[in-house]
């Protein structure tokens, strides 16, 4: 039975919040080792321990973070496109995790390497060359965050080879600057608020809220682009 009026709206909002919370809890659970190591990284003072925990995290990221994040994107994609489907979130998450694990792990290895290079270059250029390079790297970080998010969206929505998916993520990032700016700013605001204001909500909203916004924006752009290409093709024919 479908509810109307205020009761219907409240029900939809509650259902949406439940989807966000449950998906994020699963994502957080799959990333528990990384979350624990990150916490330890923040509380230790010894440089050797900091380096050790950082290495452990970097090793685990391609194997845990990227597959689980892809599963999260796949779950939210299914719920966005098939709003009336009552398939359980747990089943969707596990299915997407299994289906995309190898691809996500390989893509995660590439992106992890890119982030390592970026961090190393940041410390070298800012500390050894000129501190004004900090602003250049901040811009690069902004775009790399959005490209990484687009990679997850492309992976769960488009059947392409790995390097083509990365290429598509880069193209979408620069072809639609407005979408890039919106997704990037909202993601950074969510991350900032999660770690500085509402830390206790990280297990419930951090990942899934960013993923929902990122995929929703990607999906609208992708759908519009496909329609435009289809209309242009019909006119040519």
Mean pLDDT calculated for residue range 169-182:
94
Mean pLDDT of 82-98: 91
pLDDT: which is higher, 233 or 98 = 98
pTM to 2 decimals?
0.91
As for how many domains the chain has, the answer is 1
pLDDT at 2: 52
- What's the pLDDT at 47? 83
228, 208 in Cβ contact below 8 A?
A: no
pLDDT grade for 182, boundaries at 50, 70 and 90: very high
Is-contact 68 97, C-beta < 8 A? yes
Instruction: Evaluate whether 38 touches 50 at the Cβ level (below 8 Å).
Output: no
pLDDT of residue 236 exceeding 70, the answer is no
Domain of 107? 5-236
What residues contact 79, with CB distance under 8 A and at least 6 apart?
19, 85, 89, 92
Mean pLDDT, rounded, for 31-35:
95
Q: How many helices and strands in the chain, by DSSP H and E?
A: 10, 0
Report the range of poorest mean pLDDT among 7-16, 35-44, 82-91, 130-139: 7-16
| 89 and 75 Cβ atoms separated by less than 8 Å | yes
pLDDT tens sequence across 197-226: 888 888 899 999 999 999 999 999 999 988
% the chain with pLDDT above 90? 67
- Give me the percent of the chain exceeding a pLDDT of 70: 95
How many Cβ atoms from other residues are within 10 Å of residue 130's Cβ? 10
Q: 3-state class of 85 per DSSP?
A: coil
Given a cut of 60, whether residue 1 has pLDDT beyond it is no
pLDDT averaged over every residue in the chain:
90
Please compute the mean of the pLDDT values over residues 12-24 and round it to a whole number. 93
Neighbouring C-beta atoms of residue 27, cutoff 10 Å: 23
Q: Count other C-beta atoms under 10 Å from residue 14's C-beta.
A: 10
pLDDT for position 167: 95
pLDDT at 46 over 90: no
Residue 3: pLDDT over 90: no
């Amino acid at each position: 039975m479908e509810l109307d009026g205020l009761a219907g709206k409240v029900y939809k909002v509650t259902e949406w919040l439940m989807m966000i919370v449950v998906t994020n809890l699963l994502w957080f659970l799959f990333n528990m080792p990384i979350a624990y190591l990150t916490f330890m990284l923040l509380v230790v003072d010894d440089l050797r321990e900091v380096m050790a925990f950082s290495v452990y995290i970097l090793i685990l990221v391609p194997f845990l973070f990227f597959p689980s994040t892809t599963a999260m994107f796949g779950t939210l994609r299914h719920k966005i496109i098939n709003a009336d489907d009552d398939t359980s979130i747990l089943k969707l998450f596990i299915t997407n995790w299994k289906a995309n694990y190898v691809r996500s792990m390989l893509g995660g290895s590439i992106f992890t390497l890119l982030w390592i290079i970026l961090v190393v270059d940041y410390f070298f250029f800012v500390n050894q060359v000129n501190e004004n390079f900090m602003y250049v790297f901040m811009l690069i970080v902004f775009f790399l965050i959005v490209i990484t998010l687009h990679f997850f969206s492309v992976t769960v929505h488009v059947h392409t080879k790995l390097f083509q998916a990365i290429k598509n993520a880069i193209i979408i990032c620069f072809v639609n600057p407005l979408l890039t700016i919106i997704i990037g700013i909202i993601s950074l605001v969510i991350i900032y608020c999660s770690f500085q204001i509402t830390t206790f909500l990280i297990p419930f909203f951090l990942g899934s809220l960013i993923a929902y916004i990122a995929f929703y924006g990607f999906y609208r752009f992708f759908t519009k682009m496909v329609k435009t290409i289809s209309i242009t093709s019909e006119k040519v024919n």
